[in-house]
């Protein structure tokens, strides 16, 4: 039996009459790359916010890294990393200062920050830029750096909210190499995306429509199940029935 | 605790790397102090005046000497004709004419009452008013002097001098006002912008997902601005003492404590503003328009509160800067101790507590 790092049972979030997330249930295994697909407004971000300890569910149960989303938000936060589609490092701080800051915020001891940040800069090939402000880096580098910072404290799970938005295909490919590497080291990756080709890279994917999970399986199984050639086809078959308009 | 230090260090990086903001922070107080101290002063120096002395007696001679001794006037003696006065004003340069009638000394001696005419260039009302005030003060002063010499028990003399002295240094009232204004701008505007910037750049989201407590984000944001504000406050004090010759009569430590209280009030206001908006522009506009205008108008350092309609006087009570202005005036200029300003301090402390509570509460509820 594989270790479950995210367990979600009948999770629901309502904003007044509006049901943003409607009774979803799923489990994510350790070291898995779990893709979360859906049109804008399908409820992806709301679901992710609940799992990250940013908002309370209206009903249902969920445990992240073994901690309850209602009562142990602080423990959850300590065990996850997070990266959003917006570049979320400080542009007026240098590469090293950003790394040190986020390391410090997560309580990584000073000596470890020092040695690990040198390793990281070397791995990314950013030795020349380490002392420069991140504002001047190309977008692709920024996103790779942001991802590295998000897993700097070696979390159990990393949540990626459309991490490759606006990035060129080559960098996207490199970015996914980094995701694989992180997963291989035991970090569970929970990723939302718009790009259907990226969905194929995931171990398993869920497709959300109108707040509900309409499909959940490996990409291959889903294609077989829907008789489609690609995940894109699967997605269109499901999304066609959507009532909420994309915004 | 270590996390907080890491955060504060980061905030200092932001502040010191943003040259423009730094320039604003330290440029505004310097510019304002110098502007209010020198350019906008109601003092008039070396104003050209003509004394037309038709009497040429001892009394007029003494008054003329007194006027000449003052640095405010550049005196020219000329028996100017009443008909020529207008022409003299029209030529420009001339600010004021003083005319002693021919029977001045005699009237004073025999009737105990003499008249002197002061004609000022009313096209520049502020200068005209100031000059006539000075002249009236000098003449009143002289009148009291001779009354005292005739052994009549006049005892109002020192009061006149006080009034006269107050006129002599116009910077006096401006310093507390500028203090209130600058602290308000620096603390409120910059704090709100600093918090909103994190929201705009998306880093706030990352911070909220981190184990760093949201309230600590606010504290870490506020501390660098608290430190900078104290530095700015010190700078203004130094400028006013050494450049404007405005003395600090009261306790300096009391002044610092009251100012830190006011700084915290402004910081809370800044945090409150940052909670209600998501863009730096809105935050800046809100704090500049929403805070600067009321501070200028309702503090009482530019426009006397006593002359305002009742409703405005009531409104002025909710402007924190008004209370701070009263405290600084009392402590710095009058040299009064805490026993005279505890009421104002209490009001300010109450406001701070309320603002801070609302700011923190809003910040928390925004998360869920």
Considering the domain architecture, whether residues A148 and A122 belong to the same structural domain is answered as yes
Q: Name the band, by pLDDT with cuts 50, 70 and 90, for residue A146.
A: very high
Say which range, A50-64, B126-140, B255-269, has the weakest mean pLDDT. Answer: B126-140
Assess if residue A240 is contained within a domain: yes
Assess if residue A187 is contained within a domain: yes
Assess if residue A137 is contained within a domain: yes
Assess if residue A84 is contained within a domain: no
Considering the domain architecture, whether residues A46 and A165 belong to the same structural domain is answered as yes
Pick the last residue of a domain from A116, A131, A154.
Answer: A154
Q: What's the pLDDT score for residue B167?
A: 41
Considering the domain architecture, whether residues A131 and A175 belong to the same structural domain is answered as no
**Full domain range(s) for residue A232:** 1-79+156-247
| Residues in contact with B234: Cβ distance below 8 Å, sequence separation at least 6, in sequence order | none
Q: Name the band, by pLDDT with cuts 50, 70 and 90, for residue B158.
A: very low
Helix axes B171-183, B19-34, angle to 10 degrees: 160
Neighbours of B179 (CB within 10 A): 27
Mean pLDDT of B17-38: 81
Collapse the DSSP code of B308 into the 3-class scheme (helix H, G, I; strand E, B; otherwise coil) and give the result: coil
Residue labelled with tokens 């028990």: B153
Considering the domain architecture, whether residues A145 and A26 belong to the same structural domain is answered as no
pLDDT over 60 (residue B368): no
Q: Residue B89 and residue B77: Cα distance in Å, rounded?
A: 15
The helix (run of H) or strand (run of E) holding residue A217 is strand A212-217
Q: Name the band, by pLDDT with cuts 50, 70 and 90, for residue A202.
A: very high
Assess if residue A62 is contained within a domain: yes
Assess if residue A21 is contained within a domain: yes
Assess if residue A71 is contained within a domain: yes
ipTM entry = 0.85
Considering the domain architecture, whether residues A169 and A94 belong to the same structural domain is answered as no
Q: What's the pLDDT score for residue B154?
A: 33
A90 vs B contacts (CB less than 8 Å)? 10, 13-14, 201, 203
Chain B, nearest residue to A73 by Cα = B211
Q: Name the band, by pLDDT with cuts 50, 70 and 90, for residue A206.
A: very high
| Residues in contact with B300: Cβ distance below 8 Å, sequence separation at least 6, in sequence order | B316, B322, B325
Pick the last residue of a domain from A154, A187, A202.
Answer: A154
Pick the last residue of a domain from A154, A183, A210.
Answer: A154
Could you report the per-residue pLDDT of A160-173, keeping only the tens digit for each?
988 887 788 888 89
Residue labelled with tokens 């002025």: B316
CA atoms within 13 A on the CB side of B287: 32
pLDDT over 80 (residue B159): no
pLDDT over 80 (residue A116): yes
Q: What's the pLDDT score for residue B68?
A: 86
Nearest Cα of chain B lies from the Cα of A148 at a distance, in angstroms, of 14
B13 vs A contacts (CB less than 8 Å)? 90, 92-93, 97
Residue labelled with tokens 């420069």: A132
Assess if residue A38 is contained within a domain: yes
Q: Considering only CA atoms, which of A48, A17, A213, B364 is closest in space to residue A57?
A: A48
Residue B290 tokens read as 């929403």
Considering the domain architecture, whether residues A57 and A135 belong to the same structural domain is answered as no
CATH of the domain at A216: 3.40.50.300
Could you give the percent of chain A with pLDDT greater than 70?
98
Instruction: Please tell me if residue A101 touches chain B, with a CB cutoff of 8 Å.
Output: yes
Asked if residue A183 lies in contact with residue A32, where contact means CB atoms within 8 angstroms, the answer is yes
Residue ranges of alpha helices (H) inside chain A are 44-51, 73-79, 95-105, 110-124, 139-150, 169-184, 196-199, 219-226, 231-239
Considering the domain architecture, whether residues A103 and A40 belong to the same structural domain is answered as no
Q: Name the band, by pLDDT with cuts 50, 70 and 90, for residue B184.
A: confident
Considering the domain architecture, whether residues A54 and A170 belong to the same structural domain is answered as yes
Q: Residue B71 and residue A170: Cα distance in Å, rounded?
A: 79
Nearest Cα of chain A lies from the Cα of B16 at a distance, in angstroms, of 10
Q: Do A104 and B6 touch (CB under 8 A)?
A: yes
Q: Residue B184 and residue B187: Cα distance in Å, rounded?
A: 6
Could you report the per-residue pLDDT of B287-331, keeping only the tens digit for each?
888 777 888 888 877 777 777 888 888 888 888 888 998 898 888
Considering the domain architecture, whether residues A34 and A57 belong to the same structural domain is answered as yes
Considering the domain architecture, whether residues A176 and A205 belong to the same structural domain is answered as yes
Structural domain total, chain A: 2
Which neighbouring-strand residues pair with A207? A37, A215
Q: Look over chain B and give the mean of its residue pLDDT values, rounded to a whole number.
A: 80
Neighbours of B325 (CB within 10 A): 25
Considering the domain architecture, whether residues A98 and A7 belong to the same structural domain is answered as no
CA atoms within 13 A on the CB side of B209: 25
Residue A211 tokens read as 């707040």
Considering the domain architecture, whether residues A163 and A245 belong to the same structural domain is answered as yes
Instruction: Please tell me if residue A153 touches chain B, with a CB cutoff of 8 Å.
Output: no
Q: What's the pLDDT score for residue B27?
A: 86
Pairing of strands A157-161, A4-15: unpaired
Pairing of strands A4-15, A18-29: antiparallel
Nearest Cα of chain A lies from the Cα of B313 at a distance, in angstroms, of 43
């Amino acid at each position: 039996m594989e270790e479950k790092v995210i367990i979600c049972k009948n999770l629901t979030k309502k904003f007044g009459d509006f049901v943003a997330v409607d009774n979803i249930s799923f489990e994510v295994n350790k070291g898995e790359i779990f893709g979360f697909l859906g049109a804008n407004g399908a409820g992806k971000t709301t679901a992710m916010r609940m799992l990250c300890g940013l908002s309370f569910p209206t009903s249902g149960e969920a445990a992240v890294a073994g901690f309850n989303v209602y009562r142990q938000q602080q423990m959850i936060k300590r065990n996850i990393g997070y990266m959003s589609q917006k570049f979320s490092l400080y542009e007026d701080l240098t590469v090293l200062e950003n790394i040190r800051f986020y390391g410090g915020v997560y309580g990584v001891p000073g000596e470890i920050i020092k040695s690990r940040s040198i390793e990281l800069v070397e791995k990314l090939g950013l030795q020349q830029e380490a002392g420069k402000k991140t504002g001047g880096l190309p977008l692709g580098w920024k996103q790779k750096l942001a991802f590295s910072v998000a897993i700097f404290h070696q979390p159990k799970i990393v949540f990626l909210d459309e991490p490759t938005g606006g990035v060129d295909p080559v960098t996207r490919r490199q970015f996914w190499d980094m995701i694989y590497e992180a997963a291989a080291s035991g970090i569970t990756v929970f990723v939302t995306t718009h790009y259907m080709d990226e969905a194929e890279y995931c171990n398993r994917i869920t497709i959300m429509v109108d707040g509900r999970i309409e499909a959940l399986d490996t990409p291959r199984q889903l294609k077989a199940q829907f008789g489609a050639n690609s995940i894109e086809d699967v997605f269109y078959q499901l999304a066609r029935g959507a009532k909420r308009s994309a915004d | 605790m270590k996390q907080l230090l890491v955060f504060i260090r980061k905030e200092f990086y932001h502040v010191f790397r943003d040259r423009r903001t730094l320039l604003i922070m330290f440029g505004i107080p310097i510019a304002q102090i110098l502007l209010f101290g020198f350019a906008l002063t109601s003092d008039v120096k070396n104003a050209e005046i003509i004394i037309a002395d038709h009497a040429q007696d001892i009394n007029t001679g003494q008054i003329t000497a007194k006027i000449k001794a003052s640095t405010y006037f550049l005196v020219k003696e000329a028996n100017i004709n009443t008909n020529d006065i207008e022409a003299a004003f029209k030529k420009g340069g001339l600010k004021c004419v003083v005319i002693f009638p021919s029977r001045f000394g005699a009237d004073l001696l025999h009737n105990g009452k003499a008249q002197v005419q002061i004609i000022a260039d009313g096209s520049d009302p502020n200068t005209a008013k100031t000059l006539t005030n000075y002249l009236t003060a000098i003449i009143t002063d002289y009148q009291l002097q001779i009354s005292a010499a005739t052994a009549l028990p006049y005892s109002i003399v020192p009061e006149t001098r006080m009034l006269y002295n107050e006129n002599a240094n116009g910077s006096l009232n401006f310093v507390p006002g500028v203090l209130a204004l600058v602290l308000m701008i620096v603390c409120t505007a910059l704090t709100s912008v600093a918090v909103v910037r994190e929201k705009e750049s998306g880093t706030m989201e990352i911070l909220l997902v981190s184990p760093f407590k949201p309230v600590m984000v606010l504290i870490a944001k506020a501390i660098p601005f608290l430190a900078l504000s104290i530095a700015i406050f010190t700078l203004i004090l130094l400028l006013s003492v050494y450049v404007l010759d405005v003395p600090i009569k009261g306790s300096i430590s009391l002044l610092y404590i009251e100012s830190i209280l006011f700084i915290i009030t402004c910081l809370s206001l800044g945090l409150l503003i940052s909670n209600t908006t998501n863009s730096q522009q809105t935050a800046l506009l809100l704090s500049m328009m929403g805070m600067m205008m009321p501070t200028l108008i309702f503090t009482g350092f530019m426009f006397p509160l006593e002359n305002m309609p009742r409703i405005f006087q009531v409104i002025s009570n909710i402007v924190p800067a008004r209370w701070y202005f009263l405290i600084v005036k009392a402590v710095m200029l009058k040299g009064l101790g805490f026993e005279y300003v505890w009421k104002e301090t209490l009001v300010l402390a109450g406001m701070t507590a309320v603002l801070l509570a609302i700011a923190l509460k809003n910040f928390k509820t925004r998360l869920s």
